């Protein structure tokens, strides 16, 4: 019999139900459902009807006490990801947390520190886009120096259109106390992760953020952030939930080439025949005159490659689940180590803090200042407890 991991699915909302379906359909060969957990009796009844052979429990504590799972995946509200991850790890269970790893860095650090103290346990995060072969290939190209040192990055990702009804469906959505933010913590964490995973962590950020700009919500629905990587290199990140048409365009400019990704599906990789500065310095006045006359053919100075991969719906998520299981069973390297989750949370926090204070913010920002600002907004809502 093939070895399998018994997974406890904590939270049976859209994500939890999807993961349960993948496992039940055999799309995660090394995993079986050990139990499903949800606090809502109606949801538990639904889970029991859809998976009649699976124990359905009301709490993570009940799951731990029952001893019927080897690992958990936490498909719960954002603030609970670190709390649930910590509880699972303390009980000796492997943990796969959903994105984002948390709402603020202090709570994610607690999770990471505990996970680091338990190296015998596998700790991962559901960054399914890291399992996208397109982005994996682009990271290889950048890491290998094929486009040289990065000089500028831009990602416009506004394909998150959400009508007002989406926000009105529950009291906690798009609130500071319930969700911890808007588009940065709900829709765009994958891009924030990929941006840093491929291009590197910036040193600082200056952001202009609009809160309740085009929707009746407390949190952000429009973001423009400029980051500084040092050595003159910069990046821009734009995201929103009110663009009905939407754009998804990611550019990475290096001193030896350029990558342009459209729709997270197709990438054009340009490789210069030499460093751009060297090419520039080799141009004579005769070349310049030729440029003005339209006699200069820049295509002689570079080659281009188009990269495109088929990505079956759900395949990335199922692949991360299988990778998690294989890491537990045989030590396979994780596609998305859990400790990496703090990077996107840190950048989202820095973007918020920059917009709240009106200044450029270091990625090594004051966590106390951030939490004070966050709690002031939670208190103004008057519906949720402050965070510590």
- Tell me the per-residue pLDDT of 127-144, one tens digit each, with 9 for 90 and over: 999 999 999 999 999 999
Q: Is position 387 within any domain?
A: no
Q: Is 91 left (phi over 0), alpha (psi -120 to 50) or beta?
A: alpha
Buried-state track 356-380, b at ≥16 Cβ within 10 A, e below 16: beeeebebebeeeebbebbbebbee
Give the pLDDT mean for 309-324: 88
Q: How confident is the model at residue 1 (pLDDT cuts 50, 70, 90)?
A: very low
Q: Are residues 202 and 235 in the same domain?
A: yes
Q: Are residues 72 and 197 in the same domain?
A: no
Q: Are residues 317 and 348 in the same domain?
A: no
Q: Give the pLDDT of residue 170.
A: 86
Give the pLDDT mean for 19-24: 97
Sign of torsion over alpha carbons 131, 251, 345, 244? negative
Mean pLDDT in the chain?
96
* Residue ranges making up the domain that contains 352: 131-309+344-381
Q: Are residues 210 and 122 in the same domain?
A: no
Question: Taking 90 as the threshold, does the pLDDT of residue 71 lie above it?
Answer: yes
- Tell me the per-residue pLDDT of 336-361, one tens digit each, with 9 for 90 and over: 999 999 999 999 999 999 999 999 99
pTM: 0.95
Give the pLDDT mean for 231-259: 98
Question: Taking 50 as the threshold, does the pLDDT of residue 327 lie above it?
Answer: yes
Give the pLDDT mean for 19-32: 97
- CA–CA distance, 289 with 150 (Å, rounded to integer): 30
Question: Taking 50 as the threshold, does the pLDDT of residue 182 lie above it?
Answer: yes
Q: Are residues 85 and 179 in the same domain?
A: no
Q: Give the pLDDT of residue 273.
A: 97
- Tell me the per-residue pLDDT of 147-181, one tens digit each, with 9 for 90 and over: 999 999 999 999 999 999 999 988 899 999 999 99
**CATH code for the domain of 69:** 3.40.50.720
Q: Is position 78 within any domain?
A: yes
Which ranges constitute the DSSP H helices of the chain? Answer: 14-24, 41-50, 60-66, 80-90, 105-116, 133-143, 164-168, 183-186, 189-199, 276-281, 285-292, 315-330, 341-357, 367-381
Q: Are residues 212 and 254 in the same domain?
A: yes
Q: Give the pLDDT of residue 343.
A: 97
**CATH code for the domain of 294:** 3.30.360.10
Q: Give the pLDDT of residue 52.
A: 97
Q: Are residues 143 and 270 in the same domain?
A: yes
Q: Are residues 368 and 247 in the same domain?
A: yes
Q: Are residues 191 and 247 in the same domain?
A: yes
Q: Give the pLDDT of residue 2.
A: 58
- Tell me the per-residue pLDDT of 279-313, one tens digit each, with 9 for 90 and over: 999 988 988 888 888 888 889 999 999 999 887 76
Q: Are residues 157 and 255 in the same domain?
A: yes
How many domains, the chain? 2
Give the pLDDT mean for 216-233: 98
Instruction: Please list, in sequence order, all residues whose beta carbon lies within 8 angstroms of the beta carbon of residue 13, skipping any fewer than 6 positions away.
Output: 43, 75
Q: Is position 212 within any domain?
A: yes
Q: How confident is the model at residue 45 (pLDDT cuts 50, 70, 90)?
A: very high
Q: Is position 203 within any domain?
A: yes
Q: Are residues 123 and 236 in the same domain?
A: no
Q: Is position 54 within any domain?
A: yes
Give the pLDDT mean for 189-195: 97
Sign of torsion over alpha carbons 192, 198, 202, 207? negative
Q: Give the pLDDT of residue 36.
A: 98
Question: Taking 90 as the threshold, does the pLDDT of residue 278 lie above it?
Answer: yes
């Amino acid at each position: 019999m093939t070895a399998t991991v018994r997974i406890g699915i904590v939270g049976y909302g859209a994500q939890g139900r999807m993961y349960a379906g993948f496992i039940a359909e055999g799309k995660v060969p090394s995993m079986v459902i050990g139990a499903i957990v949800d606090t809502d009796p109606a949801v538990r009844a639904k889970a029991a009807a859809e998976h009649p052979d699976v124990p359905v429990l009301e709490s993570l504590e009940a799951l731990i006490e029952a001893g019927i799972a080897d690992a958990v995946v936490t498909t719960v509200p954002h603030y609970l990801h670190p709390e649930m991850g910590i509880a699972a790890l303390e009980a000796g269970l492997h943990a796969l947390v959903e994105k984002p790893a948390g709402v603020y860095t202090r709570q994610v650090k607690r999770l990471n520190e505990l996970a680091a103290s338990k190296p015998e346990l596998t700790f991962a995060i559901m960054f399914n886009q890291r399992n996208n072969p397109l982005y994996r290939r682009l990271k290889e190209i950048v890491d290998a120096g094929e486009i040289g040192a990065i000089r500028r990055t831009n990602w416009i990702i506004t394909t998150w259109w959400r009508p007002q009804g989406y926000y009105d469906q529950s009291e906690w959505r798009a609130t500071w106390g319930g969700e911890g933010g808007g588009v940065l913590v709900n829709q765009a964490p994958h891009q924030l992760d990929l941006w840093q995973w491929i291009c590197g962590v910036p040193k600082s950020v200056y952001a202009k953020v609009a809160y309740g700009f085009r929707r009746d919500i407390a949190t952000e629905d429009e973001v423009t952030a400029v980051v500084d990587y040092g050595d003159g290199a910069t990046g821009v990140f734009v995201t929103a939930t009110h663009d009905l048409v939407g754009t998804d365009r990611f550019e990475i400019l290096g001193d030896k080439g350029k990558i342009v990704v459209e729709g997270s599906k197709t990438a054009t990789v340009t490789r210069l025949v030499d460093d751009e500065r060297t090419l520039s310095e080799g141009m004579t006045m005769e070349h310049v005159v030729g440029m003005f006359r339209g006699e200069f053919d820049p295509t002689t100075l570079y080659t281009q490659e188009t990269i495109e991969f088929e990505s079956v719906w759900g395949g990335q998520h199922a692949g991360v689940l299988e990778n998690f299981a294989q890491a537990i069973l045989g030590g396979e390297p994780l596609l998305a180590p859990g400790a990496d989750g703090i990077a996107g949370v840190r950048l989202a926090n820095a973007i918020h803090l920059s917009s709240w204070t009106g200044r450029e913010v270091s990625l090594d920002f004051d966590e106390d200042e951030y939490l004070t600002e966050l709690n002031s907004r939670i208190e103004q809502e008057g519906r949720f407890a402050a965070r510590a």
